[in-house]
């Protein structure tokens, strides 16, 4: 199953740093996101694009994760040669990530 | 206009200043001292000033860009022309170009000394907080125009002013930052930049309503929009916007406070009504962020499309030819990209490796050069594919332009001295 089935996402940019939020549609899927969508996996997923560290922040109060990708925007939005200099489309690439189906994992009652 | 007419507003905020806009405005002001503010100021003020007078709301905007005083004078002239009597205030002091050039600073991201770029620097503007904007509101101004200010501060200033928040009330300033952050991108919280058919439906995007924030004395926020306007306000639209351009949610550095978004609660309170509370804060730092705009060489680009059977192979051949031509003709590029739009231009080559070839694909060649003439040669080599490249290439576009880039530095807070001037119409 793709992440898109259980979560939504938006990308932001500041200089050469991109942040990608990952928000569970249903709070019960938040633990699955925490377990399966690690900073290491996200870094590997974007290995062609991101030259710096990937840090993950957890926001249990809203059932969301926030990934911060450093040196990810071709030297910075204002100078990048990329077609999508802001990296705005990266959120959709994150939602392409495969995760194990939540229906096969135990749900809280 | 719908918002100004039917929003029941006390304040209307226009946030209009992207990262490098102020550097471009500074260049415009050097050519013409009466310019340097937002080119849309005229049209917006003509439309909104009569409504502001009729419905008695005040306007705050960073449309002043590199010339807040010029923008205030122009706004007053427009008001006089419309027969509207009002007071316009300009907040000045964000321009710290001389101070930054005289100091010994390094860019935050690259650690490069600012001095190394000295002769190419165009502008340096500090992100101002609420203090100067509140001073402008205390003059009784109906319209407050700023240059660079922290976007959330444009929205938080009326809260500090109306509710008399202390400037060291870090919890309220933290929640006030949440308010400003959520509202600053307008339609991005009312369903704009959100729709994903089949997953996230948004009605009537062509008539997207802009947000209204109803804020109580503690900063508790209800986000809503004008009834009947397009879009939607839901917990999901608010969550996406809460994390937009945020790094560590516990430490969102602002001129007025270090805001903490980690405990923010977002609850739906009716149709297109979402309640947002729980923003907190810690004491502000001793520094302010300054955006430095500088000339960063030239970029040239050319594009051409291929379609039908073998489109991808022909496009790849086209790239090989242009790459070799640029070498043969000695075009010096410090950095270059060769993209196949439709295949690998957005997320690298990995995602499309398992996918079937697209029916059509567009070649994009772009590179960074030291001169405009060399930048233009990149597009020329793509155009040459019309006669000297693979079969069936069409739809060439090309351009060459100079680049203004932006990097930021932190400066001591006391380096920045703000002032307020008023103009009456």
Q: What is the tens place of the pLDDT at every residue in A50-98?
A: 999 999 999 999 999 999 999 999 999 999 999 999 999 999 999 999 9
Positions in chain B short of pLDDT 70: none
ipTM (interface pTM) = 0.95
Distance CA B71, CA B69 (A): 5
CA-based nearest distance B61→chain A, Å? 22
> What CATH number is associated with residue A69?
3.30.70
Which of A4, A79, A93 has its CB closest to that of B405?
Answer: A79
Q: What is the pLDDT of residue B355?
A: 85
Identify the domain boundary among B282, B310, B334. Answer: B282
Tell me, yes or no, whether B367 and B271 share the same domain. no
Distance CA B370, CA B334 (A): 8
Is residue A108 situated within a structural domain? no
Is residue B178 situated within a structural domain? yes
Range of the domain at B173: 169-282
Nearest CA in chain B to A67: B247
Q: What is the pLDDT of residue A107?
A: 44
Beta strands in B308-417 (DSSP E): 335-341, 360-369, 394-412
Share of residues in chain A with pLDDT > 70 (%): 93
> What CATH number is associated with residue B379?
3.30.70.1150
Tell me, yes or no, whether B274 and B327 share the same domain. no
Q: What is the pLDDT of residue A108?
A: 45
DSSP label of B148? S
Is residue A109 situated within a structural domain? no
Tell me, yes or no, whether B235 and B313 share the same domain. no
Identify the domain boundary among B282, B307, B328. Answer: B282
- CB within 8 Å: A81 and B406: no
- CB within 8 Å: B247 and A23: no
Distance CA B140, CA A17 (A): 40
Identify the domain boundary among B282, B307, B339. Answer: B282
Is residue A51 situated within a structural domain? yes
Distance CA B361, CA B358 (A): 7
Tell me, yes or no, whether B245 and B333 share the same domain. no
Please say if the pLDDT value at position A105 is more than 80.
no
Tell me, yes or no, whether B306 and B401 share the same domain. yes
- CB within 8 Å: B249 and A12: no
Nearest CA in chain B to A91: B347
Range of the domain at A58: 3-101
Q: What is the pLDDT of residue A103?
A: 64
**In the block, which residue shows the tokens 């694909």?**
B361
Tell me, yes or no, whether B275 and B300 share the same domain. no
Q: For chain A, how many structural domains are there in total? A: 1
Is residue B343 situated within a structural domain? yes
CA-based nearest distance A11→chain B, Å? 7
Tell me, yes or no, whether B307 and B357 share the same domain. yes
Is residue B146 situated within a structural domain? no
Q: For chain B, how many structural domains are there in total? A: 2
Is residue A64 situated within a structural domain? yes
Q: What is the pLDDT of residue B310?
A: 97
Is residue B235 situated within a structural domain? yes
Question: Testing the interface with A: which of B199, B247, B289, B335 to mutate, by most A Cβ within 10 A?
Answer: B247
Q: What is the pLDDT of residue A106?
A: 47
Q: Between vectors from CA B333 to CA B328 and to CA B335, what angle results, nearest 5°?
A: 130
Please tell me if residue B335 touches chain A, with a CB cutoff of 8 Å. yes
Nearest CA in chain A to B407: A15
Please report, to the nearest 10 degrees, the dihedral formed by the alpha carbons of residues B190, B243, A54, B366 taken in order: 40
Q: What is the pLDDT of residue B353?
A: 87
Distance CA B278, CA B185 (A): 21
Which positions ≥6 away from A3 have C-beta within 8 Å? A9, A22, A37, A94, A95, A96, A97, A98, A99
Tell me, yes or no, whether B299 and B400 share the same domain. yes
Q: pLDDT per residue over A10-27, tens digit each?
A: 999 999 999 999 999 999
Chain B, 378-407: which have a CB under 8 Å from a chain A CB? 403-407
Please say if the pLDDT value at position A109 is more than 50.
no
CA-based nearest distance A106→chain B, Å? 24
CA-based nearest distance A79→chain B, Å? 6
CA-based nearest distance B299→chain A, Å? 8
Tell me, yes or no, whether B357 and B395 share the same domain. yes
Tell me, yes or no, whether B264 and B347 share the same domain. no
**In the block, which residue shows the tokens 């719908």?**
B2
Q: Write the burial class of residue B36 (CB in 10 Å: 0-12 exposed, 13-18 middle, 19+ buried).
A: buried
Q: Which residues of B61-85 are buried (b: 16+ CB within 10 A; e: fewer)?
A: bbbbbbbbbbbbbbbbebbeeeebe
Please say if the pLDDT value at position A104 is more than 80.
no
Q: pLDDT per residue over B387-416, tens digit each?
A: 999 999 999 999 999 999 999 999 999 999
Question: Testing the interface with A: which of B22, B242, B243 to mutate, by most A Cβ within 10 A?
Answer: B243
**Residues of chain B with C-beta less than 8 angstroms from the C-beta of A48:** 347-350
């Amino acid at each position: 199953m793709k992440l898109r089935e259980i979560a939504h996402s938006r990308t932001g940019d500041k200089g050469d740093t991109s942040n990608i939020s990952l928000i569970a549609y249903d709070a019960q899927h938040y633990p699955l996101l925490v377990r399966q969508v690690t900073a290491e996996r996200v870094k590997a997923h974007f290995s062609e694009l991101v030259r710096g560290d990937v840090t993950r922040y957890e926001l249990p109060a809203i059932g969301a994760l926030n990934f911060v990708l450093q040196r990810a925007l071709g030297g910075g939005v204002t100078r990048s040669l990329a077609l999508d200099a802001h990296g705005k489309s990266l959120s959709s690439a994150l939602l392409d990530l495969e995760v194990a189906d939540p229906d096969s994992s135990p749900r809280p009652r | 206009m719908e918002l100004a007419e039917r929003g029941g507003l006390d304040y209307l905020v226009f946030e209009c200043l992207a990262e490098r806009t102020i550097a471009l405005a500074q260049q415009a002001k050097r050519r013409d001292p009466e310019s340097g503010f937002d080119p849309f100021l005229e049209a917006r003020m003509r439309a909104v000033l009569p409504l502001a007078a009729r419905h008695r709301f005040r306007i705050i905007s960073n449309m002043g860009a590199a010339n807040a005083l010029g923008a205030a004078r122009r706004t007053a002239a427009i008001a006089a022309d419309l027969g509207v009597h009002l007071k316009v205030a300009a907040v000045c002091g964000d321009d710290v170009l001389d101070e930054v050039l005289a100091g010994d600073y390094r860019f935050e991201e690259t650690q490069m000394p600012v001095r190394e770029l000295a002769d190419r620097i165009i502008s340096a503007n500090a992100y101002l907080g609420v203090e100067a904007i509140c001073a402008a509101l205390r003059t009784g101004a109906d319209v407050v125009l700023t240059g660079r200010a922290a976007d959330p501060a444009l929205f938080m200033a009326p809260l500090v002013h109306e509710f008399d928040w202390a400037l060291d009330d870090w919890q309220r300033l933290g929640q006030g930052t949440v308010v400003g952050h959520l509202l600053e991108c307008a339609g991005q919280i009312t369903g704009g930049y959100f729709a994903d058919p089949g997953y996230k439906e948004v009605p009537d995007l062509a008539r997207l309503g802009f947000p209204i924030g109803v804020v109580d004395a503690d900063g508790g926020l209800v986000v809503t929009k004008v009834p009947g306007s397009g879009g939607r306000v839901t917990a999901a639209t608010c969550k996406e916007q809460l994390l937009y351009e945020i790094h560590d949610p516990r430490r969102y550095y602002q001129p007025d406070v270090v805001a903490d978004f980690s405990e923010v609660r977002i609850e739906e309170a009716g149709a297109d009504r979402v309640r947002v509370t729980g923003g907190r804060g810690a004491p502000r730092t001793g520094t302010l962020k300054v955006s430095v705009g500088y000339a960063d060489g030239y970029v040239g680009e050319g594009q051409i499309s291929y379609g039908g059977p073998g489109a991808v192979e022909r496009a790849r051949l086209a790239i090989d030819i242009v790459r070799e031509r640029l070498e043969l003709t000695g075009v010096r590029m410090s950095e270059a990209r060769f993209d196949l739009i439709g295949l690998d231009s957005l997320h690298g080559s990995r995602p499309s490796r398992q996918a079937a070839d697209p029916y059509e694909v567009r070649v994009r060649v772009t590179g960074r050069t030291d001169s405009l003439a060399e930048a233009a040669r990149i597009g020329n080599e793509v155009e040459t594919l019309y006669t000297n490249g693979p079969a069936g290439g069409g739809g060439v576009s090309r351009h060459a332009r100079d680049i203004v880039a932006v990097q930021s530095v932190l400066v001591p807070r006391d380096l920045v001295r703000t002032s307020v001037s008023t103009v009456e119409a």
